[in-house]
Amino acid sequence: MWKIRHTPVAPTRTQRLASGGEIDAHRHDDHQIVYASQGTIAVTTDAGSWVAPATRALWIPAGTVHHHQAHGELDLHLVGLPAAENPLGLDEPAVLAVSSLLRELLVAYTRAPEDDSAPRLRLRAVLLDQLTISAEQPLHLPIPSTPLLRELHDILRADPADNRSLDELGRQLGASARTLSRRLRDDLGLTYPRWRTQVRLHHALILLADGTPVTAVAHRCGWSSASTFIDVFRRTFGHTPGSRPTT
């Protein structure tokens, strides 16, 4: 059970975290944008987990209890926004695409001294403009609410390379593939193949952030070949797993 810390004002700052470092469960009265210009950040709530490499940022709505974990050495950029200011109109956590321009704005804004100078206010206005046009990315890994699906979730998280069919997994869990498929659609709104791919991509991001070679990541996450993994990764994230976003 989390011990929740309440920090009314979401900070705007730059913070470094070592690989494996954590920020304990907490909540703010403000919204927060969380961006890692280096490394991969994982944010967990009671609704699931979100993982974002340096081409993505996380939107954390006001009042959301959340926990951060660093994968790889992390340069973390945090931007707090008043609860009344919601440029995205989102009331749930989300992963957002980060363009080269938005990346530079987030880095510059969180490193500049906090004041109400005209240059900083203009920087903030452009940052908010860019946020409004940032596309939401389907990188949420929802946590099932039913015990049966939680068992399935634990099996896949323990070994993302488990390639057994839903029929085979169902026999282990004491449920038919049809029952599991129906519950996945009802509970998570996902098919089994799509959900399994989400589990694998989340695990792949963590392994990559920890320096695991691409070929090893592909096999440890269940893809038949490195080329298949690279193709899925590129279509999801917009770049290959071995590349870095331009600075």
Which long-range contacts does 240-245 make (Cβ < 8 Å, 24+ apart)? 241/204, 241/208, 241/214, 241/217, 242/214, 244/54, 245/54, 245/55, 245/98, 245/100, 245/103
Query: Could you tell me if residue 85 is inside a domain?
Result: yes
Same domain flag for 193 and 148: yes
Same domain flag for 122 and 35: yes
Same domain flag for 103 and 224: no
Start-end of H helices in 133-191: 147-158, 166-173, 177-188
Q: What are the average pLDDT values for consecutive 10-residue runs of the chain, which has 247 residues?
A: 72 88 91 92 86 88 92 90 89 89 94 84 93 79 86 92 94 94 91 92 87 93 94 85 57
Length of the chain: 247
Closest CA to 180 of 194, 196, 192, 197: 192
Phi, psi of 216 (to 5 degrees): -65, -40
**Per DSSP, which regions of 56-173 are E strands?**
56-60, 66-81, 94-97, 136-137, 140-142
Same domain flag for 167 and 108: no
Tell me 189's DSSP state: S
Residues 19, 70 contacting (CB under 8 angstroms): yes
What pLDDT shows up at residue 209? 82
Same domain flag for 170 and 228: yes
What pLDDT shows up at residue 246? 43
Same domain flag for 165 and 216: yes
Query: Could you tell me if residue 246 is inside a domain?
Result: no
Domain CATH for 81: 2.60.120.810
Where in the sequence is the domain holding 178, given as residue range(s)? 144-237
Tokens of 19: 């690989």
Same domain flag for 50 and 9: yes
Question: Which of 86, 104, 137 lies at the terminal end of a domain, its last residue?
Answer: 137
Same domain flag for 23 and 105: yes
Residue 61, burial from CB neighbour count under 10 angstroms (0-12, 13-18, 19+) = buried
What pLDDT shows up at residue 247? 39
Domains held by the chain: number: 2
Query: Could you tell me if residue 167 is inside a domain?
Result: yes
Question: Which of 137, 160, 187 lies at the terminal end of a domain, its last residue?
Answer: 137
What pLDDT shows up at residue 245? 47
pLDDT tens, position by position, 142-176: 888 889 999 999 999 899 999 999 999 999 999 99
DSSP state string for 22-38: EEEEEE-SSEEEEEEEE
